[in-house]
Amino acid sequence: MNNFYIASRLAKVKHTDSELIEFKTFFSKIQKDEKAQYDFFNYCKEWKLAPWIYSQLKSLELFSKFSHEVQSLFADFAQKIYSENKSRLEEASRFLAVFQKEGVDVVILKGNAFLSEIYGNLGYKKMNDFDMLIHLKDWVKVQKIYADLHYIPLGFGWGGEKQEVAKFSHTGLSYISPNYSCITGTQWGLKSPTSKYIVNIKDVWDKTETFIFQNLKVKQLSPEYNLLHLILHMGTYKCGIRDCMDIYNLLLVKSEFD
């Protein structure tokens, strides 16, 4: 039982009886070793797990096993991520409300959908972009909405294509909100059109599910396409616990799965 073993299993939304025993054994042991406590916190922070592990330690009544100093490190870091996420979601609700008004269909992707649907925790992990799937035909309209809200483009667009859809990419130019709290990640596909793997985007849209986000009715991917999207996102630098836990927690939460 090392830091990886405990953190990877503690990150699950549901635990077995044997795992609960292993947690109690591990944290009772490091309760007497403050260096081991700091090592565990630093491991969680390095691999971007600290906010969710903090929440899990609290809910499983294991947090008292840490010294006050380490408890403060966990709590302060979790609060920082929570505040950042809250600001980002509040800002995102501004352009999502306009999307709804202007008839722009949108699917909230990955972590921003999972924080309520899987984790029930607004600050479960740090997220940089607010990733969304839109219809390719709406990209020009979406850019105008960003401009009207005084969002700042991060760059000058794809070479030679200006505001038009780039033929060699499935993503649009990113924009940042005027208060710098939200970066948009707008895309019309789940995989680059230059790759050998082709996603049936019509089927993706046909199987989307409705959910409520910031009091707005939006869409999310079906469990099967969420799984596919998470796997397509993995690579050499995206295969740690933080990335894998979204996959195994999706499978633990979504009971009706093809």
181-236 residue pLDDT tens: 999 999 999 987 778 888 999 999 999 999 998 889 999 999 999 999 999 888 87
Beta strands 183-187 and 106-108, pairing class: unpaired
- In the chain the beta strands, taken as DSSP E runs, fall at 106-108, 129-134, 152-153, 175-176, 183-187, 209-213, 216-220
What is the CB neighbour count within 10 angstroms for residue 13?
17
Furthest-apart CA atoms within the chain: distance in Å: 62
> Does the pLDDT at position 165 exceed 70?
no
Contact predicate 187/170, CB 8 Å: yes
Which range is most confident: 69-73, 110-114, 158-162? 69-73
pLDDT of residue 24 exceeding 60, the answer is: yes
Residues in the chain, overall count: 258
One-letter amino acid of 129: D
Record the pTM: 0.91
What pLDDT does 236 receive? 76
User: Would you state the pLDDT for residue 124?
Assistant: 96
Instruction: Quote the CA–CA distance of 250 and 27 in Å, as a whole number.
Output: 27
pLDDT band at 238 (very low <50, low <70, confident <90, very high): confident
253 touches 13 (CB < 8 A): yes
